[in-house]
A and B are shown apart, each in its own frame.
Chain A
Amino acid sequence: MKTITIKYFAMFREQAGVGEETLELDVATAQDVYERTRDRHGSTEPTGHCKVAINDTMAEWTSSVKDGDVVLLFPPVAGG
């Protein structure tokens, strides 16, 4: 198990009801974090439509996460 802090944005944050939370998760990759928190962020989007950052650096869904990491889950973006 790893202690992971997850930050939710936009619709993920509204659905989760919190901007961030720290959870004990059995995860290896960013994709795992997204899947394990699906009941919280409520997203049905495939990860290909979303983005992820780890410790304030843009990452891939295949990127590994380690104990203490901060994982930022970004729903589909819409700038401009």
Chain B
Amino acid sequence: MAMWFCCFPLWPVADMFAISDKQIAVDELREQVMDPGSGGLCVFEGWVRNENEGRTVSRLEYEVYAPLAVIEGDAVIAEAKARFPFLAAICVHRSGLLAIGDCAVWVGVSAPHRDEAFKACRYIIDEIKVRLPIWKKEHYADGDSGWVNCERCANV
């Protein structure tokens, strides 16, 4: 029994969405999404950048309503699989305080061929950005802060 707990994966198994309040371990996720039937892996990493609309950003804060974010995130991945059949997909989104350069969101999709992997990866990140109950607060170098209104993201 103890062994079973020891072997239980730290990160979600393939085809799962998760919220993490700790740094995203991208190497571990990459291994988990690998499948012997895969011909390739398409990964998107969203990073915290130091500028937004002309203002210098010092750090980011993500507020997440996890109970619904996980349900909606799982639904997005299932929709992607129905549209672009892939072998495995994982998406992890950060919560809490992040520094410049931190990975805010990681999406990995493995598939027999690249077309499904690219398309599913794009679908997942696009939907995650506009559907999940996640809010981004930017902290600026001048001490000010503000919530980012990302509705326009749906159109770009």
Tell me the complex Cα distance, A67–B151, Å: 32
Q: How far is the CA of A79 from the CA of B136 in the complex (A)?
A: 7
- Min Cβ gap B75→A in Å is 9
Q: How many residues of A contact B (CB 8 A)?
A: 16
What secondary structure prevails in chain B residues at the interface with A?
mixed
List the A side residues contacting B63 at CB < 8 Å. 9-10
Asked if B112 is an interface residue, CB under 8 A from chain A, the answer is no
B7 within 8 A of A: no
**B150 x A78 contact (CB < 8 A):** yes
B25 in the interface (beta carbon within 8 A): no
Interfacial chain A residues near B151, Cβ < 8 Å? 49, 76
> Which residues from B are CB-within-8-Å of A18?
none
Q: Mark A24-51, 1 if CB is under 8 A from B, else 0.
A: 0000000000000000000000000101
- Is B80 an interface residue when CB atoms closer than 8 A count as contact? no
> What residues of A have a CB within 8 angstroms of the CB of B131 in the complex?
77, 79
CB within 8 Å of B: which A44-80 residues: 49, 51, 53, 56, 58, 72, 74-80
Do A77 and B132 touch across chains, with their CB atoms under 8 A apart?
yes
Known contacts A9-B63, A10-B147; A78 and B153 CB within 8 A of each other: yes
The reply to whether the CB of B130 lies closer than 8 angstroms to some CB of chain A is: yes
Residue positions of B touching A, CB distance < 8 A: 46, 62-63, 65, 67-68, 72, 93, 104-105, 125, 128-137, 147-151, 153
Q: Which residues of A contact B (CB under 8 A)?
A: 9-11, 49, 51, 53, 56, 58, 72, 74-80
